[in-house]
Amino acid sequence: MTMVQDMPDTSIPTPHESPRPTIGALFRRRPELVSLAILIAICVIVASINPAFLQPSSLIDMGRASVVTGLFALGVFAILAAGGIDVSFPAIAALTMYSATLFVINVWPTAPMALVVVSTVVGGAALGALNGWMVHTLKVPSLIVTVGTQYLFRGILLAFIGTVWLMELPPQMIAFGKAPLLEFQSGNGVTVTLPMYFLVFPAAALLTWFMFNKTLMGRAIFATGGNADVAERLGYNQRIVHIFVFAFTGALAGMAGIIHVCANRMANPFDLMGIEIEVIAAVVLGGARITGGTGTVFGTITGVLLITVVNNSLVLVGIPSTWQRVVVGAFILLAAAFFVKRSHKS
Amino acid sequence: MKQGLKNTSLIVAAAVAAMGMVSTSALAQDGKSITTVVKISGIPWFDRMETGVKKFAEANPNMDITQVGPSTADSAQQLQIINDLVAKGTDALAVVPMDPAIIEGILKRAMDRGTIVVTHEADNQKNTMVDVEAFDNAFYGASMNERLAECMGGEGKWTTFVGSLGSRTHMQWVGAGEENAAKYPGMELVDPNNESFDDANLTYDKAKELLRKHPDLKGFQSSAGNDVLGIGRAIEEAGLAGKVCLVGTGLPNPSAAYLDSGAITAIGFWDPQKAGMAMNSVAKTLLAGGEIVDGMDLGVEGYEKVSVKPGPGDGLLVFGNGMVLADKDTYKDYLF
């Protein structure tokens, strides 16, 4: 529970809290606990329908599947906290991962993996900073700016860099995607592997938590998301806040992109299209308000796990593929309705 | 926005075409010209097709036979290229349409001007004289399933993947597969028609989940080009290569590593080299005033005895027997 953020949020009035808080009040104060409760409920239901869900292999698969969504979600959380929104991160990830892979294949086949990762992170941060600079300078809503740059980045990728799928990755990238953190044989002779790159997700979560809770920048971001004018009068430099927060998201997107390529063992420039909806849904389910200024890292992780579990247990439960999208959609609507109701009450 | 782009390129195309008509009126050669227009140039599939077009050109030195295509997957660019070719007066067009609906108009105009029009991978194209298809979809699906059944020894649980439930050909393939599997009472279809959206990563996650739900799952039949890569990776990482069978549509080069490791049992596809030659062969016959009839030999491997049916428009649908099922031992003959 140390991951819970103390919300410096002025929009939720707290005076009429009773001395002995009821469960309802607790949920209102800590919306991420609602998601956690839903997550636990779903796990119990799935496990009771099909106990195979509780195998270590299934938990490991879900841990692995949550990495890319999780990195994206931490970035979106940061931007929502600052009162903005970003839909360009999948394009940033695609552009950086494809360019880096192409460069390694054609120019420098022996490039060390650490350098490849750093270059995608820096590249992502640069593209993100461009978003932030435009949001600040043009004084245009960040949704508009990032819808624009999303087309721009994807367009540059397809028009100038390449449309061909890269199937033969250099060996160091394949090794990075395969390196096991944990490997064992399950009962029926199936090898289960938790890859090393999984660690990137908790590491990034810790970093994000640290930034929001222990640094001045974190306070500045929440203040900006709460009320930008007030934050400016308090002396927080809006330009730096905007550029920083979008660059942070871009950097996480770059990291997610290169992990996606290495895990997948191919670089497809058309990949990751449309993932933004799922990621934003995860962050909102994690208790962050789409209007900004609130949210916690813990909630974001809960939201990511929720989406991952729902996406990875429908077959296990036996819902035919025709119905899977219906279930996911209904589920998001239900949770969203709950959160809207909560914010009306408070 | 996309529509706007298309309109702009239409205007550009018209302008280019007009200029073409004014400046170069003659592309006059001794023989006739056949131009193959592909969806995208520079990707492995159509590079492979070009080798077939070149072979055909070598066999017919008196004719002017070439292949062109847009540099990106953009139906407006393809339209522009066809416009240009019609204006220049090529004698025959062999088109692999990006989007059949977009080029209906220009193909009609081309035929009105006396240009021979042949298409491929477009059995819904109305304005074409002959649409050449590599195989009959039902036959393809059944053949893949037969290979799967052989690998599974005719018994065990199996499942199917399609690109999306709306993909007509994929549903035809797995449908025919199910019919074929009915011959083997020991084969049990479980959780069929999983959607892959041609996304290898998503397919990987789904395949893992299916393997977890059914630890005794013995076979996969997949449809979209990327499915074998996702399922193959799931099988390989689980150490099940050779124990679980996987037969699906795929291309030899990308699948090579998984075929070698045994994670993919066999891939099904058609050879674009042969399809390119078949299209050109049909165009040549039509240029010479010949007719395409049921059972005729196009002089191309896999198209020795084509079946002819009426197409959706005034043209004909020609089916070859151009399906290839390649496994570990044979894929090296088709590296593309």
B127 and B214 share one domain? no
CB-CB neighbors (< 8 A) of B239 in chain A:
185, 189-191
Q: How far is A57 from chain B (nearest CA, A)?
A: 8
Q: Which of A53, A66, A167 to mutate to test the interface with B (most CBs of B within 10 A)?
A: A167
Amino acid at B295: G
DSSP 8-state secondary structure symbol assigned to residue A137: H
Both B18 and B114 in one domain: the answer is yes
Does B325 fall in a domain? no
Give the torsion through C-alpha atoms of A313, A319, A320, A322, to 10 deg: -90
Distance CA B258, CA B273 (A): 23
Locate all alpha helices (DSSP H) within B238-271, ordered by sequence. Answer: 252-261
Is residue A100 one of the residues assigned to a domain?
Answer: yes
Residue in chain B closest to A191 (alpha carbons) equals B238
CB B73 within 8 A of CB B39: yes
Answer whether B195 sits within 8 Å of A165, measured CB to CB.
no
- Written as one letter, the residue type at B303 is Y
Is residue A242 a contact partner of residue A136, using CB atoms and an 8 Å limit? yes
Of B42, B204, B237, the CB nearest to A193: B237
Best residue in A165, A273, A315 for a mutation probing chain B (most B CBs within 10 Å): A315
Predicted confidence at residue B11, as pLDDT, reads 53
Residue B48 shares a structural domain with residue B34: yes
In angstroms and rounded to an integer, the radius of gyration of the C-alpha atoms of chain B is 22
Whether A50 sits inside 8 A of B213 (CB atoms) is: yes
DSSP state of B197: T
Q: Provide CB contacts within 8 A for B209, sequence distance 6+.
A: A58, A61, A312, A313, A315, A316
Residue B3: what pLDDT?
A: 45
By the 8 A CB rule, do A172 and A178 touch? no
Chain B positions with Cβ closer than 8 Å to A: 40, 42-44, 72-73, 165, 191, 193-195, 199-201, 204-206, 208-213, 215-216, 229, 233, 237-240, 243, 253-254
Radius of gyration of chain A (CA): 21
Q: How far is A192 from chain B (nearest CA, A)?
A: 6
The pLDDT of residue A313 is: 85
Q: Say how far apart CA A104 and CA A288 lie, in whole Å.
A: 38
Is B102 within the bounds of a domain? yes
Phi, psi of A8 (to 5 degrees): -85, 55
d(CA A102, CA A120): 12
- Report yes or no on A60 lying in a domain: yes
Q: What is the DSSP string of A91-110?
A: HHHHHHHHHHHHHHHHT-TT
Residue at B326 is within a domain: no
Classify residue A18: in a domain, yes or no. Answer: no
Q: Are the C-beta atoms of B336 and B253 separated by less than 8 Å?
A: yes
- Chain A's closest residue to B1, CA to CA, is A151
- Mutation target to probe the A interface, by most A beta carbons within 10 A, among B191, B212, B251 is B212
Residues B265 and B163 in one domain: yes
Question: What CATH number does the domain containing A116 carry?
Answer: 1.10.3470
Domain-located, residue B333? no
Same domain, B302 and B255: no
Q: Which residues pair with B189 in a beta bridge?
A: B158
B156 and B106 in a common domain = no
Residue A20, CA distances (Å) to A16, A17, A178, A211, A343 in order: 11, 8, 51, 32, 21
DSSP state of A183: E
Question: Of A93, A133, A122, which is closest to residue A272 (Cα–Cα)?
Answer: A93
Question: Residues of B with CB below 8 A from A318's CB?
Answer: 191
Burial label for B287, CB within 10 Å (0-12, 13-18, 19+), is middle
Token pair listed for B206: 């789904």
| Interface touch A264/B209, C-beta < 8 Å | no
Per-residue pLDDT of chain A (346 residues; tens, 9 = 90+): 344 444 444 444 444 444 555 777 777 777 778 888 888 998 999 999 988 888 888 888 889 999 999 999 999 999 999 999 999 999 999 999 999 999 999 999 999 999 999 999 999 999 999 999 999 999 999 999 999 999 999 989 988 998 777 888 899 999 999 899 988 887 677 888 899 999 999 999 999 999 999 999 999 999 999 888 899 898 899 999 999 999 999 999 999 999 999 998 889 888 888 888 889 888 988 888 777 778 899 999 999 998 898 888 888 888 887 777 787 778 777 767 776 666 665 4
Under DSSP, the state recorded for B126 is S
Which of A265, A311, A325, A328 is the mutation pick for testing B, counting most B CBs within 10 A? A265
Distance, CA of B93 to CA of B86 (rounded, Å):
9
Residue pair B336/B151 in contact (Cβ under 8 Å)? The answer is: no
Q: Is A266 on the interface with B (CB under 8 A)?
A: yes
* Positions of chain B with pLDDT lower than 70, given as ranges: 1-30
pLDDT at A6: 44
Shared domain check, B108 and B12: yes
ipTM score of complex = 0.75
Separation between Cα atoms, residue A200 and residue A69, nearest integer Å: 12
**Quick check: is A261 in a domain?**
yes
From start to end of B30-150, where are the E strands? 33-37, 64-68, 92-95, 116-120, 130-133
Domain count, chain A: 1
Q: Do B262 and B283 share a structural domain?
A: no
**Token code pair at residue A104:** 């390694």
Tell me the pairing of strands B33-37 and B266-270.
unpaired
Question: Of B266, B264, B263, B296, nearest to B281 (Cα)?
Answer: B296
Its pTM stands at 0.78
CA–CA min distance B137, chain A (Å): 23
CA distance B244 to chain A (A): 11
- Asked whether residue B168 is domain-assigned, the answer is yes
Tell whether B13 and B120 lie within a shared domain. Answer: yes
Tell me the residue range of the domain where B18 lies.
Answer: 2-133+272-315
Judge if B122 and B148 occupy the same domain: no
Q: State the Cα–Cα distance between residues A165 and B73, nearest whole angstrom.
A: 13
B19: in domain: yes
Is the Cβ pair A58, B212 closer than 8 Å? yes
* Domain assignment of residue A94, given as a range: 27-345
B46 lies in the same domain as B129: yes
Give the pLDDT confidence score for residue A4 in this predicted structure.
43
Total domains present in chain B: 2
Beta carbons of B229 and A321 less than 8 Å apart: no
- Which residues of B fall within a CB distance of 8 Å from A311? 205
Looking at the domain assignment, is residue A19 inside a domain? no
Same domain, B129 and B141: no
- A2 within some domain: no
A274 reaches B (C-beta below 8 A): no
CATH number where B7 lies: 3.40.50.2300
Residues of A with CB below 8 A from B229's CB? 265-266
Whether residue A271 and residue B199 make contact (CB cut-off 8 A), yes or no, is: yes
Domain-embedded: residue A6: no
Residue A310, domain member (yes or no): yes
A65 contact B CB<8A = yes
